[in-house]
Protein backbone atom coordinates (compact mmCIF):
# COMPACT_ATOMS: atom_id res chain seq x y z
CA UNK A 1 0.00 0.00 0.00
CA UNK A 2 2.94 2.35 0.65
CA UNK A 3 4.03 2.04 -2.98
CA UNK A 4 0.48 2.77 -4.19
CA UNK A 5 0.32 5.91 -2.06
CA UNK A 6 3.66 7.08 -3.40
CA UNK A 7 2.47 6.49 -6.96
CA UNK A 8 -0.70 8.50 -6.25
CA UNK A 9 1.42 11.33 -4.84
CA UNK A 10 3.57 11.26 -7.98
CA UNK A 11 0.47 11.41 -10.15
CA UNK A 12 -0.84 14.42 -8.21
CA UNK A 13 2.49 16.26 -8.51
CA UNK A 14 2.72 15.63 -12.27
CA UNK A 15 -0.91 16.59 -12.88
CA UNK A 16 -0.37 19.74 -10.80
CA UNK A 17 2.38 20.61 -13.27
CA UNK A 18 -0.15 20.32 -16.07
CA UNK A 19 -2.56 22.59 -14.22
CA UNK A 20 0.28 25.08 -13.71
CA UNK A 21 0.87 25.09 -17.47
CA UNK A 22 -2.82 25.76 -18.10
CA UNK A 23 -2.74 28.58 -15.54
CA UNK A 24 0.27 30.13 -17.26
CA UNK A 25 -1.47 29.86 -20.62
CA UNK A 26 -4.43 31.87 -19.32
CA UNK A 27 -2.40 34.29 -17.20
CA UNK A 28 0.09 35.42 -19.83
CA UNK A 29 -0.74 37.42 -22.97
CA UNK A 30 -1.56 35.17 -25.90
CA UNK A 31 1.25 36.74 -27.93
CA UNK A 32 3.79 35.61 -25.33
CA UNK A 33 2.54 32.04 -25.57
CA UNK A 34 2.64 32.17 -29.36
CA UNK A 35 6.20 33.51 -29.37
CA UNK A 36 7.35 30.83 -26.91
CA UNK A 37 5.54 27.96 -28.61
CA UNK A 38 8.63 26.85 -30.55
CA UNK A 39 10.77 26.78 -27.39
CA UNK A 40 8.03 24.98 -25.45
CA UNK A 41 7.68 22.34 -28.17
CA UNK A 42 11.45 21.79 -28.32
CA UNK A 43 11.77 21.41 -24.56
CA UNK A 44 8.73 19.16 -24.49
CA UNK A 45 10.25 16.80 -27.04
CA UNK A 46 13.63 16.76 -25.29
CA UNK A 47 12.17 16.05 -21.85
CA UNK A 48 9.80 13.40 -23.27
CA UNK A 49 12.79 11.59 -24.81
CA UNK A 50 14.81 11.78 -21.58
CA UNK A 51 11.83 10.59 -19.54
CA UNK A 52 11.15 7.63 -21.83
CA UNK A 53 14.79 6.52 -21.79
CA UNK A 54 15.32 6.86 -18.06
CA UNK A 55 11.98 5.34 -17.07
CA UNK A 56 12.65 2.34 -19.28
CA UNK A 57 16.14 1.96 -17.84
CA UNK A 58 14.89 2.23 -14.25
CA UNK A 59 12.16 -0.35 -14.78
CA UNK A 60 14.70 -2.72 -16.32
CA UNK A 61 17.16 -2.10 -13.47
CA UNK A 62 14.56 -2.63 -10.75
CA UNK A 63 13.31 -5.79 -12.45
CA UNK A 64 16.93 -6.94 -12.51
CA UNK A 65 17.02 -6.52 -8.71
CA UNK A 66 13.85 -8.60 -8.42
CA UNK A 67 15.04 -11.40 -10.72
CA UNK A 68 18.48 -11.48 -9.08
CA UNK A 69 16.97 -11.81 -5.61
CA UNK A 70 14.64 -14.55 -6.85
CA UNK A 71 17.58 -16.40 -8.39
CA UNK A 72 19.58 -16.07 -5.19
CA UNK A 73 16.72 -17.42 -3.07
CA UNK A 74 16.64 -20.48 -5.34
CA UNK A 75 20.42 -20.80 -5.02
CA UNK A 76 20.14 -20.49 -1.26
CA UNK A 77 17.53 -23.25 -1.17
CA UNK A 78 19.75 -25.55 -3.21
CA UNK A 79 22.74 -24.86 -0.95
CA UNK A 80 20.70 -25.53 2.19
CA UNK A 81 19.48 -28.84 0.74
CA UNK A 82 23.01 -29.93 -0.15
CA UNK A 83 24.42 -28.94 3.24
CA UNK A 84 21.63 -30.66 5.15
CA UNK A 85 22.21 -33.83 3.14
CA UNK A 86 25.98 -33.68 3.68
CA UNK A 87 25.51 -33.31 7.44
CA UNK A 88 23.01 -36.16 7.47
CA UNK A 89 25.47 -38.41 5.62
CA UNK A 90 28.22 -37.51 8.07
CA UNK A 91 26.24 -39.09 10.88
CA UNK A 92 24.82 -38.21 14.31
CA UNK A 93 27.95 -36.24 15.17
CA UNK A 94 26.79 -33.51 12.77
CA UNK A 95 23.40 -32.96 14.42
CA UNK A 96 24.56 -29.67 15.93
CA UNK A 97 25.48 -28.45 12.45
CA UNK A 98 21.98 -29.21 11.21
CA UNK A 99 20.60 -27.18 14.11
CA UNK A 100 22.92 -24.28 13.23
CA UNK A 101 21.68 -24.51 9.66
CA UNK A 102 18.06 -24.41 10.78
CA UNK A 103 18.75 -21.35 12.93
CA UNK A 104 20.50 -19.63 10.01
CA UNK A 105 17.52 -20.31 7.78
CA UNK A 106 15.09 -19.01 10.40
CA UNK A 107 17.18 -15.84 10.70
CA UNK A 108 17.02 -15.44 6.92
CA UNK A 109 13.25 -15.88 7.02
CA UNK A 110 12.89 -13.24 9.72
CA UNK A 111 15.21 -10.70 8.08
CA UNK A 112 13.67 -10.83 4.61
CA UNK A 113 10.01 -11.74 5.19
CA UNK A 114 9.32 -11.09 8.86
CA UNK A 115 9.48 -7.32 8.97
CA UNK A 116 5.71 -6.71 9.11
CA UNK A 117 5.74 -4.43 6.06
CA UNK A 118 9.16 -2.91 6.79
CA UNK A 119 12.13 -3.26 4.49
CA UNK A 120 14.32 -6.33 4.97
CA UNK A 121 16.76 -5.95 7.84
CA UNK A 122 20.35 -5.33 6.80
CA UNK A 123 22.83 -8.06 7.65
CA UNK A 124 25.79 -6.43 9.35
CA UNK A 125 29.34 -7.53 8.69
CA UNK A 126 29.67 -8.56 12.34
CA UNK A 127 26.60 -10.80 12.09
CA UNK A 128 27.91 -12.66 9.06
CA UNK A 129 31.31 -12.97 10.70
CA UNK A 130 29.73 -14.44 13.85
CA UNK A 131 27.71 -16.92 11.80
CA UNK A 132 30.83 -18.02 9.94
CA UNK A 133 32.67 -18.40 13.23
CA UNK A 134 29.90 -20.62 14.62
CA UNK A 135 30.05 -22.94 11.63
CA UNK A 136 33.85 -22.98 11.63
CA UNK A 137 33.86 -23.87 15.32
CA UNK A 138 31.40 -26.67 14.70
CA UNK A 139 33.39 -28.15 11.81
CA UNK A 140 36.66 -27.80 13.74
CA UNK A 141 35.19 -29.88 16.57
CA UNK A 142 34.30 -32.78 14.28
CA UNK A 143 36.64 -35.77 14.17
CA UNK A 144 36.01 -37.68 10.92
CA UNK A 145 36.87 -41.36 11.14
CA UNK A 146 36.93 -42.31 7.45
CA UNK A 147 37.24 -40.85 3.95
CA UNK A 148 33.47 -40.49 3.52
CA UNK A 149 33.14 -38.37 6.63
CA UNK A 150 36.16 -36.28 5.61
CA UNK A 151 34.56 -35.72 2.20
CA UNK A 152 31.26 -34.66 3.77
CA UNK A 153 33.12 -32.39 6.19
CA UNK A 154 34.96 -30.58 3.38
CA UNK A 155 31.74 -30.26 1.41
CA UNK A 156 29.93 -28.92 4.46
CA UNK A 157 32.56 -26.26 5.07
CA UNK A 158 32.25 -24.98 1.50
CA UNK A 159 28.46 -25.00 1.50
CA UNK A 160 28.09 -23.25 4.85
CA UNK A 161 30.40 -20.46 3.71
CA UNK A 162 28.45 -20.14 0.45
CA UNK A 163 25.12 -19.93 2.31
CA UNK A 164 26.29 -17.13 4.57
CA UNK A 165 27.90 -15.32 1.64
CA UNK A 166 24.67 -15.55 -0.39
CA UNK A 167 22.65 -14.34 2.58
CA UNK A 168 24.99 -11.37 3.07
CA UNK A 169 24.92 -10.40 -0.60
CA UNK A 170 21.11 -10.62 -0.77
CA UNK A 171 20.87 -8.17 2.11
CA UNK A 172 23.47 -5.69 0.85
CA UNK A 173 22.03 -5.60 -2.67
CA UNK A 174 18.75 -4.22 -1.30
CA UNK A 175 20.21 -1.22 0.54
CA UNK A 176 19.71 1.40 -2.19
CA UNK A 177 18.93 -0.31 -5.50
CA UNK A 178 17.33 2.86 -6.94
CA UNK A 179 18.68 6.18 -5.54
CA UNK A 180 15.93 8.51 -4.30
CA UNK A 181 17.60 11.49 -5.99
CA UNK A 182 17.22 9.76 -9.35
CA UNK A 183 13.50 9.14 -8.80
CA UNK A 184 13.02 12.76 -7.73
CA UNK A 185 14.77 13.89 -10.92
CA UNK A 186 12.51 11.71 -13.05
CA UNK A 187 9.37 13.05 -11.36
CA UNK A 188 10.67 16.61 -11.86
CA UNK A 189 11.20 15.94 -15.58
CA UNK A 190 7.69 14.52 -15.88
CA UNK A 191 6.27 17.57 -14.09
CA UNK A 192 8.13 19.90 -16.46
CA UNK A 193 6.89 17.89 -19.45
CA UNK A 194 3.27 18.17 -18.34
CA UNK A 195 3.72 21.87 -17.61
CA UNK A 196 4.76 22.30 -21.26
CA UNK A 197 1.77 20.24 -22.38
CA UNK A 198 -0.61 22.33 -20.27
CA UNK A 199 0.88 25.58 -21.55
CA UNK A 200 0.66 24.65 -25.23
CA UNK A 201 -2.50 22.55 -25.58
CA UNK A 202 -6.13 23.51 -25.75
CA UNK A 203 -8.22 23.40 -22.61
CA UNK A 204 -11.32 21.22 -22.53
CA UNK A 205 -12.65 18.29 -20.54
CA UNK A 206 -11.28 15.64 -22.92
CA UNK A 207 -7.78 17.15 -22.89
CA UNK A 208 -7.73 17.28 -19.09
CA UNK A 209 -8.90 13.65 -18.86
CA UNK A 210 -6.09 12.48 -21.14
CA UNK A 211 -3.54 14.60 -19.31
CA UNK A 212 -4.65 12.97 -16.06
CA UNK A 213 -4.33 9.54 -17.69
CA UNK A 214 -0.82 10.45 -18.87
CA UNK A 215 0.14 11.48 -15.33
CA UNK A 216 -1.27 8.15 -14.10
CA UNK A 217 0.82 6.28 -16.69
CA UNK A 218 4.05 7.90 -15.47
CA UNK A 219 3.01 7.24 -11.86
CA UNK A 220 2.39 3.57 -12.71
CA UNK A 221 5.94 3.34 -14.07
CA UNK A 222 7.24 4.76 -10.78
CA UNK A 223 5.09 2.21 -8.95
CA UNK A 224 6.67 -0.67 -10.91
CA UNK A 225 10.15 0.67 -10.16
CA UNK A 226 9.40 0.81 -6.42
CA UNK A 227 7.75 -2.63 -6.44
CA UNK A 228 10.51 -4.46 -8.26
CA UNK A 229 13.30 -2.75 -6.31
CA UNK A 230 11.89 -4.15 -3.03
CA UNK A 231 11.05 -7.76 -3.97
CA UNK A 232 10.06 -8.82 -0.43
CA UNK A 233 7.33 -6.16 -0.11
CA UNK A 234 4.28 -5.13 -2.07
CA UNK A 235 2.25 -6.87 -4.73
CA UNK A 236 5.07 -8.65 -6.62
CA UNK A 237 6.97 -9.89 -3.58
CA UNK A 238 8.94 -13.13 -3.65
CA UNK A 239 7.06 -15.82 -1.75
CA UNK A 240 8.46 -17.26 1.48
CA UNK A 241 6.60 -20.53 0.99
CA UNK A 242 9.69 -22.52 0.00
CA UNK A 243 11.71 -21.28 2.98
CA UNK A 244 8.82 -21.98 5.34
CA UNK A 245 8.53 -25.55 4.08
CA UNK A 246 12.25 -26.21 4.56
CA UNK A 247 12.17 -24.76 8.09
CA UNK A 248 9.12 -26.86 8.99
CA UNK A 249 10.75 -30.01 7.62
CA UNK A 250 14.05 -29.39 9.42
CA UNK A 251 12.24 -28.55 12.66
CA UNK A 252 10.23 -31.77 12.47
CA UNK A 253 13.30 -33.90 11.81
CA UNK A 254 15.78 -32.34 14.21
CA UNK A 255 16.98 -34.40 17.17
CA UNK A 256 14.65 -33.90 20.12
CA UNK A 257 12.12 -32.13 17.87
CA UNK A 258 8.38 -32.59 18.14
Q: What distance in Å separates the CA atoms of residue 100 and residue 156, rounded to the nearest whole number?
A: 12
Q: Mean pLDDT of successive 10-residue segments in the chain (258 residues)?
A: 87 94 86 84 92 93 90 86 89 88 86 70 78 89 90 91 87 80 93 92 88 94 91 84 82 63
Determine, yes or no, domain membership for 166.
Answer: yes
Burial level of 143, CB count in 10 A (0-12/13-18/19+)? Answer: exposed
Predicted TM-score (pTM) of this structure: 0.81
Determine, yes or no, domain membership for 22.
Answer: yes
**pLDDT at position 256, please?**
55
**pLDDT at position 254, please?**
67
Domain carrying residue 22: 2-253
Determine, yes or no, domain membership for 84.
Answer: yes
Determine, yes or no, domain membership for 258.
Answer: no
**pLDDT at position 47, please?**
93
**Number of compact structural domains in the chain:** 1
Alpha-carbon distance values, 77 to 47, 82, 84 (Å)? 45, 9, 11
Q: What distance in Å separates the CA atoms of residue 106 and residue 247, rounded to the nearest whole number?
A: 7
- Using alpha carbons, select from 87, 105, 241 the residue that is nearest to residue 170: 105
The residues near 122 (Cβ < 8 Å, ≥ 6 apart) are 171, 172, 175
How many residues would you count in the chain? 258
The residues near 249 (Cβ < 8 Å, ≥ 6 apart) are none
Cβ contact 173:62 at 8 Å: no
**pLDDT at position 258, please?**
47
Amino acid sequence: MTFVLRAVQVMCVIFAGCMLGILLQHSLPSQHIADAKSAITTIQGLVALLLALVLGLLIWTSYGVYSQQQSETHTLGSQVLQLDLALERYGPGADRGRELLRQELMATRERFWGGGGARPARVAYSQSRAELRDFDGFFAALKPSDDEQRHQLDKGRQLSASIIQTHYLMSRQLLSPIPKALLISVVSWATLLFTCIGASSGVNALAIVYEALGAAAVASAIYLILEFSQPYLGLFRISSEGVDQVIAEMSANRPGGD
